Amino acid sequence: MIIHLTNIVVTALILDIPPALEEIEQLHCVKLLGVLFQDNLKLDSHGQYILSQCAQRMYLLKLLQHQGLPLNKLRVVVYSLIVSRIAYALPAWCGFVSVELCCKIDAMFKRLKRYGYTTDYLTFSDLLDKADSDLFCNMRRSYHCLHHVLTLFAWLIT
């Protein structure tokens, strides 16, 4: 499928697959740079994968707490193992997240707060707002690889 962007109107042209390329295996889910992309443009498998990783890491936190690691050190581990995993490439996949998955991620953050692993009440939308603002601030720098997108967009608006 080829998508052409002309005057902000999206038109799609579906091409027939040549016989030589029919032997190529088509995947329903592929992992690119640590993000699982599905063929139906949903990222539910990525969200479930992240939640399963975070559940395993929460078990690790319980073990570390049982071994006597102080809470202030556990909070550092939470931010380095769990929050950073959710925040990784968040602007790329957040627009495809279902409401159900957002609620599951928020529930996991509530468990972290209830167990005392964080002092802040984190939410998925707060992480998303911070990731978006950080990306936009970085894009405004002239040496950023996406800076030309902002200048092009400003030219289209005027």
Q: What is the pLDDT of residues 94-125, one digit of tens each?
A: 888 888 999 999 999 999 999 989 888 889 98
Residue 141 maps to a domain: no
What pLDDT is stored for residue 66 in this prediction?
94
- Is 81's pLDDT higher than 80? yes
Please check whether residue 10 lies inside any domain of the structure: no
User: What confidence tier does 142 reach under pLDDT thresholds 50, 70, 90?
Assistant: confident
List pLDDT tens digits, range 4-44: 455 554 455 566 666 666 677 777 888 888 888 888 877 88
Domain count, the chain: 1
Residue 60: inside a domain: yes
The answer to whether 23 and 30 have CB atoms below 8 angstroms apart is no
Identify the pLDDT of residue 70.
92
Are the beta carbons of 117 and 74 closer than 8 angstroms? yes
Answer yes or no: is 152 within a domain.
Answer: no
Cβ-based neighbours of 156, under 8 Å, separated by 6 or more: 8
Is position 117 within any domain?
yes
Evaluate whether residue 26 is within a structural domain: no
Rounded to two decimals, what is the model's pTM? 0.73
Residue 80 sits in which domain range? 42-125
Could you tell me if residue 136 is inside a domain?
no
Residue 91 lies in a domain: yes
Residue of 134, 93, 142 whose CA lies nearest to 150: 142
Residue 52 has pLDDT above 80, yes or no: yes
